[in-house]
């Protein structure tokens, strides 16, 4: 499974209420695809309207699909120049019990 988080940044001409609406629709798609309970448990995200940023944790299948659906909707609605996506790879810091650091 990927250890990826996506950070999206939106340009000044982008309507953040429209972005919020597209994000809510994307979450509904993921609930339909994975089930409401799995979506509630597996989705990790943060929307910062004031700083025009969104972070999506794509370390679960539901999170991977959310990032894909949301970016696809943004491309169709706002255009590819309206936002930027930064991929942040996270390495797990956890080790199995009994393993020395």
The kind and range of the H/E element at 86 are: strand 83-89
pLDDT of residue 84: 97
- Which tokens in the block code for residue 39? 């979506």
CATH number, domain 4-89, options 3.40.50, 3.30.70, 2.40.160, 1.10.3470: 3.30.70
CB 8 within 8 A of CB 57: no
pLDDT of residue 96: 40
**Would you give the end-to-end CA distance of the chain in angstroms?**
23
pLDDT of residue 67: 97
Q: Going by DSSP bridges, is the β-strand pair 53-57/4-10 parallel, antiparallel, or unpaired?
A: antiparallel
CB 57 within 8 A of CB 24: no
pLDDT mean for each 10 residues of the chain (101 residues): 87 96 97 94 96 97 97 96 92 44 40
């Amino acid at each position: 499974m990927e250890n990826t988080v996506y950070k999206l940044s939106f340009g000044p001409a982008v309507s953040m209420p429209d972005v919020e609406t597209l994000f809510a629709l994307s979450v509904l798609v993921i609930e339909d695809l994975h089930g409401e309970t799995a979506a509630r448990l597996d989705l990790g995200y943060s929307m910062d309207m004031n700083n025009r940023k969104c972070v999506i944790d794509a370390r679960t299948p539901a999170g991977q699909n959310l990032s894909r659906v949301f970016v696809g909707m943004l491309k169709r609605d706002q255009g590819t120049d309206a936002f930027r996506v930064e991929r942040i790879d996270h390495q797990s810091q956890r080790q199995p019990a009994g393993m020395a650091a």
